[in-house]
Amino acid sequence: MFGISEYFVHMFYIFSSTRSALIYTKLIYTFSAAAVGPFHPKPLYYKVNYEGTINIIESAKKHGISKIVFSSSPSTRFTGEDVDGLTEDEMPKLPLNKYMQTYAETKAMSELEISKACSNDFMTVSVAPHQVYGPKDNLFLPNLLEAAKSGKLRVFGKGYNRICFTHVDNYCHGLIIAEKALYPDSPALGKFYIVTDGKTHPTSQYLIFWKILDEAVKGMGFTSLWDKAHLPKGLLMFVATICEFIGNLFGVTMKLNRFNVTVLTMHRWFDIKAAEKDLNFQPIIGFREGWDETIVWFKENWLPKQAESKSLFGIAKQSQDKIDIQDESAKKVQ
């Protein structure tokens, strides 16, 4: 997400034959290299997320590596219903009968393999951030701010949906300290944990998404989203269905789809007490500090490079660049 895409694409495909990279290693952190959301061709999600994870498990066992910290996603448990302050145990169990997108499905498949492989001799744990943000983000904020700059972005629905964020440093911190919980008979073995900015959020463990996003919009000097008419969810879903049909027909990526409408209108926040207890997780960057820092970075580094976007097609350039790198990398190692 923050500039390591090409490395990880290659790593996932060739890990099974890279002995020199493993010989002095006792721990692997595994990341999905395919961009979050419905952007890639479906086969690439399976190849990178699922087959790549299988390669890593097999290679780790072959070369005597005894620990894997797997980077998962809360979207593996999303059904389209609100997730309003649930713990991991209160969310749907894997595997789901149906997933909202191929990314979530292949991440769930990978996580199940990671958990199945876990034992006292080969210890694994899955850690999932939610709505990762921070300086150099090339997926979450660029797409929304580009739409705001063009004047097209509106508040979806009533605009009071509750969600939680994870600063990229808190995400990395969660992965690092999860390794310390990998020891024989640990309560964390084979389990799934969500890490967020926790109690540093403005309210309990959540924020009001469209209010907080508007801070970034206004921070770029754009018109406040709350000064414009809101778009009803029903209308958005109707238009998103048409956009998906057109996208599938002509092979183009549309900015609006049903998945995005759903996640931008539903409640998406979690009680992270399990990570606090079992992993001893606490955010090292508070939400206010991290969000303010991110807005400043985007104003100083992202905004000066922007050209006006007038198309309903495509996604932000930073996101597309990441996808192009991944697609080209996959072709090179096939």
- Tell me what percent of the residues of the chain surpass a pLDDT of 90: 71
Q: In whole angstroms, give the CA distance from residue 320 to residue 11.
A: 21
What is the reported pLDDT for 253?
A: 76
Residue 320 clears pLDDT 80, i.e. is over it: no
Section 192-208 average pLDDT = 97
- DSSP code of residue 129: E
Domains of the chain: which residue ranges? Answer: 5-333
> Residue 110: pLDDT above 90?
yes
pTM to 2 decimal places: 0.86
In the chain, pLDDT over 70 holds for what percent of residues? 81
Looking at residue 133, what is its pLDDT? 97
Cβ-based neighbours of 332, under 8 Å, separated by 6 or more: 10
Contact partners, residue 177, CB within 8 Å, separation at least 6: 279, 280, 281
Give CA–CA dist 279/277, Å, rounded. Answer: 6
Q: Which CATH architecture has domain 5-333?
A: 3-Layer(aba) Sandwich (3.40)
